Structures are given as C-alpha cells and as structure tokens.
Amino acid sequence: MGKSIVILGGGVIGLSCAFELQSRGHRVTLLEPASCGGQASGAAAGMLAPYSENLEGPDDFFRLCLDSLRLYPQWQQTIKQISKQTFEYTPSGSLYLAYHSADLLALEGRLLWQRQFGSSGSVMTGDELFRLEPLLSRDVLAALYTPEESHVYAPHYVSALEQACRLIGVNIQDRLEQIEIVEWKHEVLVRSAGRHYFNGDYLVVCSGAWAQELAQTFDMNIPVYPIRGQICAYESSKHPVKHMVFSSQGYLVGKENGTLVCGASEDVAGFDTSVTAKGIDRLKRWNHRVFPFLNDLEPFHRWAGLRPSTQDGFPLIGPISKSSRVTIAVGHYRNGILLSPVTAMLVADGIDGIQAATSIEAFSPERFERSLRI
C-alpha cells in the first residue's frame, strides 16, 4: 500500500524525489518556503557533465554521476510527456581546453581512465579541433572531447518537473512560513505558520544549502554549506557555440535560445545571493581567452545561486539511524541537476525497501558521526 510522504524543499532534488515517489503509488506532500526552483536549481547552467566535472578519477561520486547521466534520456522524456511541457535537452558533447603543452599529459591521463567508463572521447588539436568548434581562440592548444555529455535548460526543466508533480497529484504547498518539524521518530508531523499541520509516514529532507538548520532537530552533524556561484549570459545567436566548453577557470554553454551561459564563481558568502562586479569581471576575463568574439559583447544577464556543498564533497543520501522514517537527500554541490534522477531512484528505493542498483554507502548521512567518534 502507498505510504504518505512529506518532502521538505522544492528544488530539483525535492521535486525529483516527489515525482518518483508519487509515480510509484505513494502520496506525497512537498513543502517549500518560497517558490519551487527559486534557489540553486533555477540558477544552474544545466550541464550533465560527469567526465568534465570529475577530474580526479573514477571514485564513488563519479560513478553516481555516470549512473545519473545514463538515466537522463528516459527520465527527461518521461518528465516532458507527463508535464506536457518541453525543455532543452541537448546532447552537445563537451570540450575541456588546454592552453599549455604541460597540460596535455593530464588530458591524456583523464582520457585513459574515462574510456574505461564509457567515454568515446579523444584529445583533439589543430584543424580537427577548430573544425569542431570554429570560434575557439587559436591560443587553445588541445581539448579533451567527450561526446557523451549533454545539457538541459535548468529553469525550464525544473518548471516541467513541478508541473509533472502537480499533474500526477503531488500536493505542493509553497510560500509557507516557519516550517518546523514537530515529530519525526514515531510518525512525521510538520507545522507551518498559521498552525497548518502536515503529517506522513516518512520525511524526506531536500532543503539544499539550508539543510544544516536541521542538525539540532535530528541531533546529528549535517555539514552542508552554501557556496555562491555567480554566472552570466551573453546574447550570442550570431556566434553559435556547439559544445559545452570547459577550462580550468570556468565553462561556457551555448543554449538553443541563442544565449551563451558562462559560469561560475565559487564564493564563500553565506546565504548572500548578490552578484558582484569582481565575480563577473573574473568570468569575463576568462571568457575572452576562450572565445575572442566575447571581447565585443557584454553579458545581458547576471545572477547567482547557492550550491549545497559538503565537508567531503559527496552528497548526503539515505536514511538516518535515529529514525527509519527520515531520509536525507542534500549536498549535491555542483551536480544537483545531473544527479536528480539517480537521487530520486535511490530515495524511492530506500523507502520501498528495494536494494539500490547503485552503492550508496559512500553517501551515508551518518558518515560524519563516525568520523566524530574516531
């Protein structure tokens, strides 16, 4: 029989969990203090880029990202069908640039291990590279080409997810003030201002960069911190960019609406989402070194979002030991859009008592308790 589930947070993670759980026959209520997608999820560049975002090697986090990338073709199609809304999903492939011969060895090394994990990539130089992306600066020496990576238009994807949730019957309560967990051990009871109560069998915490606020409630360490990403967009329909382009200093993604999205800073600024001249100027200086045509253009849009970062860089996904009624799904840092389908599957499998297809031990929300005890 379906269970009743309360989800805290209407970002991409909360909405994806809500969609998956309601689709499996549960009754989901999602509580959001502002508007769905109004925080990190609506600010994201939308890149689905596990190879380019994981430079170190094939660790558990990379494998999780790769599992999620592989879920995307079916997942995005389902969201479009159910929501009756469309959004950009472009299998563009990506280029990771090198400017110096000293960096070539690193590209070759990454290609070696990434090939063992499904990449059909190659290191490209000279005419071959400039045929692929003609507007690139001729200062670029080489690039690691990864055809498997893709991107979505994040604000539209999140809006479609919200609409899909509503159409299958998720009870979305947004603009709630003073959301407070009243009971979570023997049953789930959440209260908001005006003495509105929401009860359920299970609670799923998806409150992104704000998750640490619940550490006291659950009497556990939840080391999640906001890291601001400042980002901007140029109108560039006269200068089409075909691939996602990464450098050690940032990335540029050409969207099908003719904009070129360029990100992003990593600032420690608390919960401040202001955009600063310093942050955007640094991006602009690098953007010119990638695409010289940007010398003549100014970004028409600048914005910022708060990535939920964690102490060890891995998200927290899974139940807590103090109550099997509580599952946490937070801390997706730079990859929450990419990780949304796999997180939804893991959370729903956990609540359904199904052995997860992906190993989640490395993402246990309890791992910081263990390190405290050592």
Binding site for ligand GLY (CB under 6 A): 45, 47, 53, 229, 263-264, 307, 334
**What is the smallest separation between the CB atom of 101 and ligand FAD, expressed in angstroms?**
29
Q: Does residue 20 touch ligand FAD according to CB under 6 A? A: no
Rounded-to-integer distance, Cα 260 and Cα 237, Å: 8
Q: Kindly write out the interface string for residues 237-276 of this chain, putting x where it contacts ligand FAD by CB under 6 A and - elsewhere.
A: --------------------------xx------------
Q: Which does 31 bind (CB under 5 to 8 A by kind): ligand FAD, ligand GLY, none?
A: ligand FAD
Q: Does residue 46 touch ligand FAD according to CB under 6 A? A: yes
**What is the smallest separation between the CB atom of 138 and ligand FAD, expressed in angstroms?**
27
Q: Which does 336 bind (CB under 5 to 8 A by kind): ligand FAD, ligand GLY, none?
A: ligand FAD
What SS3 state is found at 214? Answer: helix
Contacts of 18 (CB under 8 A, 6+ apart): 7, 28, 30, 165, 170, 172
Q: Which does 121 bind (CB under 5 to 8 A by kind): ligand FAD, ligand GLY, none?
A: none
Residue type, 374: I
Terminus-to-terminus CA distance in the chain, angstroms? 41
Buried b (16+ CB within 10 A) or exposed e, 346-370: bbbbbbeeeebebebeebbbebbee
Selected binder of ligand FAD within 93, 121, 200, 208 (CB under 6 A): 208
Q: Kindly write out the interface string for residues 320-339 of this chain, putting x where it contacts ligand FAD by CB under 6 A and - elsewhere.
A: ----------x-xxxxxxx-
Q: Which does 12 bind (CB under 5 to 8 A by kind): ligand GLY, ligand FAD, none?
A: ligand FAD
Return phi, psi of residue 43, to 5°.
-95, -10
Q: Does residue 156 touch ligand FAD according to CB under 6 A? A: no
Range 252-259, long-range pairs (CB < 8 A, 24+ positions): 252/287, 252/290, 252/291, 253/45, 253/46, 253/47, 253/92, 253/151, 254/92, 255/88, 255/151, 255/153, 256/88, 256/90, 256/153, 257/88, 257/153, 259/233, 259/234, 259/235, 259/301
Token pair 């990859």 in the structure block, residue: 335
Cβ closest to ligand FAD, residue 332 vs residue 367: 332
Q: Decide: 207 and 330 in contact? Cβ < 8 Å.
A: yes
Q: Does residue 317 touch ligand FAD according to CB under 6 A? A: no
Which region, judged by CB under 6 A, interacts with ligand FAD, from 87-95, 200-208, 345-353, 361-369?
200-208
Residues that bind ligand FAD (CB under 6 A): 8-14, 31-34, 38-41, 43-47, 179, 206-210, 213, 229, 231, 263-264, 305, 307-308, 330, 332-338
